[in-house]
Amino acid sequence: MGPIEQLIGELKEVCAGLPDKRVGPRREGEYSMADIGLSAFSIFFMGSPSFLAHQRALQRGHGRSNCQTLFGMSAIPSDNYIRLMLDGVPPSAFDRLFLRAVEAAGPLSPFRRLDGRVLIALDGTEHFCSRKIHCQNCCTRRRSDGGTEYFHAFLGASLVAPGHQRVMPLAAEFIAPQNGAPKQDCERDAAKRWLVKHGANVADLRPIYLGDDLFACQPIAEAIRAVSGNFILTCKPASHQTITEYLAGAELSEHRQTVSQRGKRTTTIYRWLSAIPLRATEDALAVNWFSVEIRNHTGKRTYYNSFVTDLPVTAENVAELAACGRARCRVGGDVAIPTPHSAGRAGSPHPVPHGRASLTAAYG
Ligand SMILES: [Zn+2]
């Protein structure tokens, strides 16, 4: 059995164990939760919203469909029935399958960087937005015209690496109203929950967590360290006053690399300063700051970004640290994440109706 068949088999097991809202004894011919869950999955796996309709036609014509041969399903429920039955299913039921998929992918050598570590990019993404349709798990925001917008978002975590386009998704943490929480949920809180839930499970991979400027703060850095992770986080001067003040009077270490391509020289300048406080408190974590600046053949700056990390920065590793820090930018941007997540991306047509409870998240 190949890894895909094995993973679909494990998905089937998870689907079979999903909470079933039907009461009373099962009737003859009733769809199983496995068939219902796999039907929904197959739409995303095949990347075609009309996949099931086509398979039903195939089944009528040939008596056998790809749903049976590819996914081991015994019957294909209607779209409405699938939605009805999956609304309310906890999305976390599928979490363990993501790590299984990483294990099934074999050695992670294409993803190893910085002395055998892996990079896990944490990134918030919206996957539903509406002024009219909403549910109990929607986040809300006021728009400038006074109206309310309802949206769903999640904190995605993906294995990434500079130098290739492959991305491996891990379980997501949904940004949604939390029981008993006084304030609206946010990306940072979702990241902390993700680390508590999954950090220990991926610690063996020796992860370096990547995140944008929003995550370059003491609580997130501490949460990462608490699960034996390291970090490379974007750190903008405007939102990090303490660091900016330290940099102003300091003599920075510098490393330059010049490459010539088709007769044109590009210079990359790395600068760094070690052991500076992340914030202006007694208990501030000491971090290492570095920046990367790219200048084209005319000397014009074409790229600049700065980061903080808990890894030591040296002339030997600063270029690789910078490449790793920049690897995050491709997630959710240029690179399509090969998961059901991508099918529900904000801005693209939402392929499933909203549901009342968890339908958007379970599909998302
Ligand atoms: Zn909602």
At residue 331, the pLDDT reads: 55
| Distance (Å) from CA 90 to ligand 1 centroid | 14
Domain locations in the chain as residue ranges: 3-86, 93-343
| Distance (Å) from CA 46 to ligand 1 centroid | 25
Q: How far is it between the farthest Cα atoms of the chain?
A: 78
| Distance (Å) from CA 63 to ligand 1 centroid | 38
| Distance (Å) from CA 155 to ligand 1 centroid | 16
| Distance (Å) from CA 323 to ligand 1 centroid | 37
| Distance (Å) from CA 166 to ligand 1 centroid | 31
CATH number of the domain located at residue range(s) 93-343 in this protein: 3.90.350.10
| Distance (Å) from CA 1 to ligand 1 centroid | 39
Collect the ranges in the chain with pLDDT lower than 50.
332-351, 364
| Distance (Å) from CA 255 to ligand 1 centroid | 49
Tens digits of residue pLDDT in 178-190: 887 878 889 999 9
| Distance (Å) from CA 135 to ligand 1 centroid | 4
Indicate if the alpha-carbon torsion angle 127, 131, 136, 139 is positive or negative.
Answer: positive
| Distance (Å) from CA 201 to ligand 1 centroid | 29
Our measurement of the distance from residue 240's CA atom to the centroid of its chain's CA atoms, rounded to an integer in Å, reads 25
Name the token pair of 241: 């006053």
User: Whole-prediction pTM value?
Assistant: 0.86
Instruction: Quickly count: other Cβ atoms within 10 Å of residue 311's Cβ.
Output: 18
| Distance (Å) from CA 56 to ligand 1 centroid | 30
At residue 328, the pLDDT reads: 83
| Distance (Å) from CA 277 to ligand 1 centroid | 40
Name the token pair of 176: 């949604």
| Distance (Å) from CA 17 to ligand 1 centroid | 24
At residue 353, the pLDDT reads: 57
What are the E-state strand segments in the chain? 118-130, 139-142, 148-160, 168-169, 173-175, 207-211, 230-234, 253-261, 264-277, 286-295, 301-309
**β pairing state of 168-169 and 139-142:** unpaired
| Distance (Å) from CA 356 to ligand 1 centroid | 7
Q: Which of 72, 96, 111, 85 is nearest to 206 (CA)?
A: 111
At residue 349, the pLDDT reads: 38
At residue 341, the pLDDT reads: 33
Q: Provide the residue type at 145 as one letter.
A: D
| Distance (Å) from CA 8 to ligand 1 centroid | 28
Q: Are 231 and 208 spatial neighbours (Cβ–Cβ below 8 Å)?
A: yes
| Distance (Å) from CA 346 to ligand 1 centroid | 13
At residue 260, the pLDDT reads: 93
CA distance linking residue 181 with residue 330, whole number of Å? 33
| Distance (Å) from CA 176 to ligand 1 centroid | 9
| Distance (Å) from CA 150 to ligand 1 centroid | 7
| Distance (Å) from CA 245 to ligand 1 centroid | 43
Task: Find the radius of gyration of the CA atoms of the chain.
Answer: 23
Q: Are 124 and 155 spatial neighbours (Cβ–Cβ below 8 Å)?
A: yes
